Chain A
Amino acid sequence: MGSFAYTAPKKLEQALAVLNKHAAEGNRIQVLAGGTDLLVQLKSIDSEPRTILDIKKIAETSQLTFDGDHVFIGSTISCAVLYENAELKEMFPGLTESIDLIGSTQIQGKATLGGNLCNASPAGDTISALFVNGATCVIANESGLREMPVDEFVVGVGRNALQPGELLLGLKLPKPAANTSDAYLRFIPRTEMDIAVAGAAVSVSLDDNGVCVAARVAIGAVATTALNVPAAVEALVGSALDASALQKAAEASSAASSPISDKRGTEEFRRKIVGVLTKRAATTAYARAKGEG
C-alpha cells in the first residue's frame, strides 16, 4: 500500500511529468480541480492512498478567453466565476444555466466545468449543454495538445477518454452564429440541491423568418452518458418550432432514452419527462434565438 501525496505544479510540463512518472511506475494518481467530487469519493467510496495532482495553479487551466471565433474555458475555473461572467452568459445562456444548477453556493465556489465533465456522471448538468454547443476538449499530454469532441469524451458512467499521462486543459466552444441560442432544463424532485432525474439541452439557429436552420439536442441522466438526439434535431430543423415539431422532438428524446428506475424516478417517468424537458428547452432556446428570451 502506497501513501498519499499532494502536488500543485505551476507549469503544465511539470504536471505532465508527474502524470507520466506515475503511469510508468503503475502508481495511482488523481487530478484535482475543484475537489467537490474527489473529496467526497475519497471519504466515502475509495480512501486508498494516491497522489493528488492539483492542476489549479497551471495558468492555462484558469484562462477564459474570447479570442477569434472560439471561446476557451479553462478546466479549473469555478462555476461561480463562470456564472458571473456576463459575456459567457450572453453567448451561452443555456450552458451557464447548467453551470449554475450544480450544487449549492458553497459547491459553486469550488466545482469546475472541467471536473463536472471529467467526473462523467450520467446526470452531470453541464455535459449535455456542452454537447449542444459543439464543445471540443483540449487535452494535454507529453506530445502536445490534442482535441476531441465532447460527445466522444464521455465514454461511460464515471469514465472519460483521457489516457494515462493526460489531463483536460479546457474546453473550446465555437462562438454562436447569428440568431442562435441554447437552453438547458432538468427535473429534480425539489427546487434546489439535487441531482437531475432527467435533463435536456437544446441549441437552435434561425433564419430571418424564424425558421430553424440548424439545431442540436442532447439529453442527460437517462442513459449511461449524455446522448445526442439526431431524430429530435430532424424534427426541429425546417420548422418554426410549432406544436407538431416540438411534439416530434419530445417523442424522439423519449425514444432515445434508456433510463433506470431508482429512488429519484422510475424508468417510465424519466422517459416521459425527458421529452417534456426537450420541448420546453427548445421553446426557450427558440425565444432566445429570436432575441425574445
Chain B
Amino acid sequence: MSKIHVVTRVNDEKVEFLCEPQETLLDVLRNKLNLTGTKEGCATGDCGACSVTLDGRLVCSCLTLAAETKGKSVGTIEGVADGDTLHPVQQKLLEHAALQCGVCTPGYVIAIKALLEKNPDPSESEIRYWLAGNLCRCTGYDKIITAVQDLAGQSDKFKEVV
C-alpha cells in the first residue's frame, strides 16, 4: 500500500506528511503532526469537536481526507492564540465560563471565529443556527451563546478574514 505525500499549509506554516489514502485530516493532525488541540468526538460529522478551516471554510476534519488538503490551507485551534495572548473568542469563553470539560471548546473557538469573520454582528438566532453543528454536553449552551453575543458588533477584532 503506497502512502501519499502531502504538502499543505497548517496555521500558515508549510507542512509535509505521508498518509494512507483513507486517513482523515483529523487523524493526521493528531497522530502525525502532534496537533492534538483538535478533538475527535463522534467521528461522523455530527458534533463539531474536530472543526477546522480548510481554505477559510469551516469543515469537520473527521470528514476530510488528509490527502484532500494537498496545496490547501488548514486552520486549527493551535493557530488561534497569539503566543500567550488569547484570541478574543478564547478570552470571552473564559470570561463567561462557557466551558467545563473542554473537549468541545477547540471546535467552538474555530466555529465562532469563522462566524464572526463572516458576520461580525450576528443575531442570537444566527449564532444558534451557525453553531448547531457543535455539541456541548456540559454547559447547556447558554453561556456559549452569551459569550458570542458579547463579541458581536466588535468588527475591529475580526478583520483578518481568510
With A52-B22, A107-B45 in contact, is A35–B1 under 8 Å at CB? Answer: no
The total of interchain contacts (Cβ-Cβ below 8 angstroms) comes to 90
Would you give the 0/1 interface string for A90-106, flagging 1 where the beta carbon is closer than 8 Å to chain B? Answer: 00000000000001111
CB-CB under 8 A from A6, the residues of chain B are 4, 21-22, 65, 67
- Say which residue of B20, B59, B67, B70 sits within 8 Å of A109 (CB atoms): B59
B35 on the interface (CB 8 Å rule)?
no
Cα-based distance from A107 to B44 in the complex (angstroms): 10
Chain B: residues with Cβ within 8 Å of the partner, total of 34
Is A106 a contact of B22 with CB atoms below 8 Å? Answer: no
Stretch at the interface among B7-15, B50-58, B138-146, B147-155: B50-58
A143 at interface (Cβ–Cβ under 8 A)?
Answer: no
User: What are the residues of chain B within 8 A of A192 when measuring CB–CB?
Assistant: 129, 132
A16→B46 CA distance, assembly (Å): 33
- Cβ contact within 8 Å between B48 and A104: yes
Contact present for A35 and B132 (CB under 8 Å): no
Q: A42-B22, A104-B133 are in contact. Are A4 and B59 (CB under 8 A)?
A: no
A104 to B70: give the CA distance in the assembly, Å. Answer: 24
Known contacts A104-B133, A110-B63, A192-B132: A35-B48 contact under CB 8 Å? no
Say how far A71's CB is from chain B's closest CB, in angstroms. 22
Decide: A106 and B59 in contact? CB cutoff 8 A.
yes
Residues of A within 8 A of B63 (CB): 35-36, 39-40, 106-107, 110
A3 within 8 A of B: yes
Cross-chain contact A54 with B132 (CB below 8 angstroms) = no
Contacts of B130 in A (CB 8 A): 105
- B62: CB under 8 A from chain A? yes
In whole Å, how far is A257's beta carbon from the nearest beta carbon of chain B?
28
Q: Which residues of A contact B132 (CB under 8 A)?
A: 104-105, 192-193
Task: State the CA gap A110–B62 with chains docked (Å).
Answer: 12
Alpha-carbon separation in the docked complex, A105 to B111 (Å): 9
Q: In chain A, residues 50-65, which have Cβ atoms closer than 8 Å to a Cβ of chain B? A: 52, 54, 56
Give Cα A279–Cα B67 distance, bound, in whole angstroms.
Answer: 46
Residue of B nearest to A190 (CB): B132
- Decide: A103 and B68 in contact? CB cutoff 8 A: no
- Determine if A35 and B68 form an interchain contact, defined as CB atoms under 8 angstroms apart: yes
Instruction: Write out the residue numbers on chain B whose beta carbons fall within 8 Å of the beta carbon of A8.
Output: 67-68, 70
- Do A35 and B21 form a contact, CB below 8 Å, given A43-B43, A106-B111? no
* A80 lies within 8 A of chain B by Cβ: yes
A103 touches B1 (CB 8 A): no
Q: B148 CB to closest chain A CB, in angstroms?
A: 13
Interface set, chain B 19-37, CB cutoff 8 A to A: 20-22, 24
- Contact: B65 with A44, CB < 8 Å? no
Task: Give CA–CA (A104, B63) in the complex, Å.
Answer: 13
The answer to whether B58 and A106 have CB atoms under 8 Å apart is: yes
B22–A4 CB distance below 8 A: yes
